[in-house]
Amino acid sequence: MPNNIKQQIQADLQQAKETGQLRTERIREIVRSAVSQVASEFKQGSGEIRTLVKDAVSAVIENFQEKGGELKDEVTASIEGALEGINSKRHENIVKTQTDIKRLQAELDGEEEQLQQEVDVILAEIEQTGKEKPASTKTAIDSAVNAIKDSEELSLLKKRYAQLQAQLAIVRANMAARYGGRSMEVQDYLDEAKHWYNKARPQAESLATQVGQKRSQLEDKLGEAGTSLARKEHQIKQTLRELLLTAADLFKDKEPANKERETIHK
């Protein structure tokens, strides 16, 4: 089988050409299927694997060599397909690990929520106790409790954490789309990014115009990525790249810097 992979790929390409189905996505799928069948026989990272990939890409180049310098799309599709093929098993393990991480994250969120509820109850009881104290003592207790409830440091940490999780989900969507993830998997990452993005949004109604526009751009890109994915367009990769850049630009978070400048001016 390894010796015949070029013949197999070329035969499949010829068949697709005869039926009018020889698009870049089909080239990618032909190479991925052929390579994945053979790759399981070899050890990951071995010389045979690298030879397999080169043979697969060469088969596509030879099939389209009459196009001369206009081979970029076909070569790109063949490389992507070959990489997906050799990493299919490893990708399955990544998906399983990510599923375990999501489960653990849900458990962690539940524990944190319970902890927060317990803290709220304790603070409420402390406030209740203060009602029986002299006015000056009650004021001091209320001030201390409110300072803990409204801690800017804690709020900022939570916001930063949500921003990082949103960006990480977008990175994973990009990686899945590039290295063999199915549309359902990419969509899961996009949904996860939306979840963390919503958590990272400030509660204030009034936002600086520039920040508001960037948030709108990110929301538009998230929606566009989902639409492209549903249509199974090749454009999804470009859209995901733009989404990642938009998220990175937005999460530079100019709001604290603006507040800092205001403080300096004062």
Q: In this structure, are 107 and 80 located in the same domain?
A: no
Count of structural domains, the chain: 3
Tell me, yes or no, whether 104 and 188 share the same domain.
no
Q: Does residue 109 sit in the same domain as residue 198?
A: no
Same domain flag for 171 and 261: yes
Q: Do 138 and 191 lie in a common domain?
A: no
State the residue range of the domain holding 225. Answer: 151-266
Distance (Å) of CA 215 to CA 131, 244, 253: 44, 13, 11
Residue at which a domain ends, from 150, 170, 185: 150
Same domain? 23 vs 113 = no
Alpha-carbon distance 157 to 143, whole Å?
22
| Together in a domain, 177 and 249 | yes
Residue with tokens 């948030």: 215
Pair 79, 94 in one domain: no
* In a shared domain, residues 82 and 94: no
Q: Are residues 18 and 100 in the same domain?
A: no
Separation of alpha carbons 80 and 178, rounded Å: 7
Can you give the CATH number for the domain in which 252 is found? 1.20.120.660
Q: What is this structure's pTM?
A: 0.61
Contact by Cβ (8 Å): 154, 181: no
- Is residue 174 domain-shared with residue 265, that is, in the same domain? yes
Q: Of 150, 168, 184, at which residue does a domain stop?
A: 150
Residues 167 and 258 in one domain: yes
pLDDT in tens, 105-133: 889 888 988 988 888 888 888 888 878 78
Q: How far is CA 103 from CA 61, 99, 110, 154, 169, in A?
A: 44, 6, 11, 25, 15
Last residue of a domain, one of 47, 67, 86: 86
Q: How far apart are CA 43 and CA 217, in angstroms?
A: 44
What is the chain's pLDDT, residue by residue, as a tens digit (266 residues)? 445 888 889 899 988 888 887 788 888 889 988 888 887 776 665 677 888 888 889 989 888 877 666 788 888 888 888 888 888 777 778 888 888 988 988 898 889 889 888 888 888 888 888 787 888 888 888 888 887 776 677 777 788 888 888 888 888 888 877 776 677 788 888 888 888 888 877 643 334 444 556 667 777 777 777 776 666 556 677 788 888 888 888 777 555 444 444 443 44
